[in-house]
Structure formats: structure tokens, C-alpha cells
A and B are shown apart, each in its own frame.
Chain A
Amino acid sequence: MSEEKLLREKGLAFFGSITASFSHEINNVMTIINEFAGLMEDLLRVADQGRPPQLERLGGISERIGTQVKRGEKMIKRLNRFSHTIDETVKTIDLSDLLKDLIALSERPRTLRRARMETRFPEETILLVSNPFLLQQAIFSCIDLILDASHDNQLLRLILEKQDGGARITIAGEEPIVKTDDTALSFLPILMEELGGKVDVIPFDNGGLSLVLSLPYSITDTVMFQK
């Protein structure tokens, strides 16, 4: 398969997995709101039968509906921002903002594996001119790869740092890996080449794994002129 076709197919698969997982989360919020609304109806029905209405109780439920609506709203905004990353292939990106969104978008797969995530971001803003969709795909692939390769209850570390000529993102799993997905590992360098950067796979002594993505300040200085 040509690299172009592989990139397109993997890109679609990534888009699909994020939207499927996140729409599942939104559905959970809708389910909770549905139950709260149902409980209000139930309590009102009881009140119709002559018992005094539990006004305080109803007020509390209404507040909790509001909390879930806000939770859902946040999710929809994130999903919307993610969907729009496909609009422009080159864009100025605040790397911390992009990573925070991506961490939230990848919460469900992490929760299902009971994985925890520690993050370290620099205080200064790091702006890159890059392809936002491919960049998210590369970072998500690293998270996914480490999750897939490890036992449950993994501690993942995501570190963002400035480095000469760009930025470095380290994604590390603390526990020994149980298997390595060679297909995913072989695709990462192709993605990073598209982004004008590179990936280094650094094994730990205990069998853990660290994936280090090096990215240039501007994709246009590297990739665009090479093509």
C-alpha cells in the first residue's frame, strides 16, 4: 500500500475511533439526563397522588441536570474543535491547548484500561506551525500504543518541552510492556515524517517504553520545501 493511501486510511480510522468513543461518552450524559428527568416525573406523579411535592428534592435534581448539561456541552465543544482540525493542513497551534483537548478526547480508552495520566507542560506557550490533525493522530497513536502494549492500571506520563528548533513530546508508560504493536510502531515514523519531525522509541530497563516525538517549529520549513 502506498504511503499516501496508508495515511488516508489510518487518518480515517483515527477520526472514526475518536468520534465513536466520544459520542459514546455524550450518550452516557444523555442517559443520565434521561434518568434525572424520569425521576422528576416519578416524584411529580407521587405528588399528584396526594403526597406533598418534594420541592427541595426536585430543585436538587434540576441542579444535577444542569451539571450534566454543562458536562455534555464541554464534550460537544471538544469534539467540534477536533472535527475542525481537519479543515486546515497547516495552522499555528498552541501545543498545550491541543494536548489538553487530546487528553480529554482519549479519556474513555484510558478509563476502560484504568490507566492514569500525569502531564507536565511548560509555563511558556509553545506555538507550532503544523498539521493539527496529523499531530493529534501521532500523539494519540503513542498513547494508544502504550495502552495496548501494557497491563491495566498503567501510569502514563506525557511531557511537553521546548527544544532547539521546536518542541518535544514524551509519552511514557511506567510498567513493563506485554506486547508491542509492530504495525502501529512502523506507522509512527511515516506520520512524523509528514510533520517534519521524528520519533524515538526508548526502552526502559524494566521493560517500559518511552516514545519521544520531536517536532519542528514550522512544518513549512521542513516538509513543504522537501516536497
Chain B
Amino acid sequence: MALLRVLLIDDEEELVFTLAERLMLRGIEVEGVTSGADAIGRVQEKKFDVVVLDMKMPGMGGLEVMRMIRREQPTIKFILMTGRGSPEEGEEGMQGGAFAYLLKPINIEDLMEKMMEAVSV
């Protein structure tokens, strides 16, 4: 059985699918999508423990996606990914109820640790 069910959202397709594969190699069940709209579609159909998402995406931004997903699955935990030059976006996300934020490029072991912490709270 998978350790966690994770939904990964970022508009950079190469990033989504590579990071998803790396998480799968660590025993995580991952689905990757490249837009907020697709993410909302997925949470309407399936339960996830953690959502890992980019703050700045075309169309719906990270905060809006968080709000919409929380309506579908109120207990889900959010971990945000933001650019190195904009940590304030991460802080904004924390105020919006995210569990943690990580600066890109992210360290996968840090991400694993944060995800485990998030579900143990």
C-alpha cells in the first residue's frame, strides 16, 4: 500500500512528471496535473492526503486552487512550491492555510519530510 496519496500541480509539465516519478520511487502514490482546473477535477473524483502545488500558475493561482480544493476535501494538507526570488508568496500561502512552503529548486528529501509531517499533524 502507498505511503501517501499526493496530487502534484505545476504548469511546467516536465517538472510535474519527473517529480512524480521520483516520489513514486519512494513509495508515494502520485498524480500530476498542470493546471488548477485539472486539479479540482481530480479531487472531485479521488481522495488525496497532500497537495503539492506551485503558487504562480496561469489562470487560477495557488491560493485560489487551495480554496477550491479545500471545499471538496477539507482535511487535505497543502505544501507550496515558490520561486527563490519570491518567498513572500510562500508566506502568503501559509496565511491562506498551507502546511509548509518550499523554495524551488526543491530538495526531494525536504519535500518527503514535509509531506510526512503534514499527515502526522
Binding site for B on A (CB under 8 A): 20, 23-24, 27-28, 30-36, 38-39, 42, 46, 64, 68, 111-114, 152
Contacts and interface: CB of A to CB of B under 8 A. Distances in A.
Given A24-B83, A39-B21, A68-B14, A31 B59 contact: no
Contact of B18 (A27, A30, A32, A46): A32
Nearest to B35: A114
Interface in B14-42: 14-15, 18-19, 21-22, 25
A13 to B, nearest CB: 16
A186 to B, nearest CB: 29
Contacts of B3: none
B12 A27 contact: no
A34 B21 contact: no
Given A35-B19, A35-B22, A111-B58, A24 B14 contact: no
15 contacts: A27-B83, A27-B105, A28-B104, A31-B12, A31-B15, A31-B105, A33-B105, A34-B106, A36-B18, A42-B25, A46-B25, A111-B11, A111-B58, A112-B57, A152-B59
* Interface size range of chain B in the complex: 20 to 34
A35 B18 contact: yes
Given A27-B105, A46-B25, A112-B58, 18 more contacts: A23-B85, A24-B85, A27-B84, A28-B12, A28-B83, A30-B104, A31-B12, A31-B104, A31-B105, A31-B106, A32-B15, A35-B19, A36-B18, A38-B18, A39-B21, A42-B25, A64-B14, A112-B57
Contact of A20 (B25, B59, B85): B85
A63 to B, nearest CB: 12
A114 B18 contact: no
A68 B106 CA distance: 17
B11 to A, nearest CB: 8
B120 interface: no
B86 interface: yes
A35 B15 CA distance: 7
A33 B59 CA distance: 25
A60 to B, nearest CB: 11
B5 interface: no
A39 B18 contact: yes
B70 interface: no
B12 A32 contact: yes
Contacts of A113: 58
B116 interface: no
A114 B59 contact: yes
Contacts of A20: 85
B31 to A, nearest CB: 17
Contacts of B14: 32, 35-36, 64, 68
Interface string B43-63: 000000000000011110000
B17 to A, nearest CB: 9
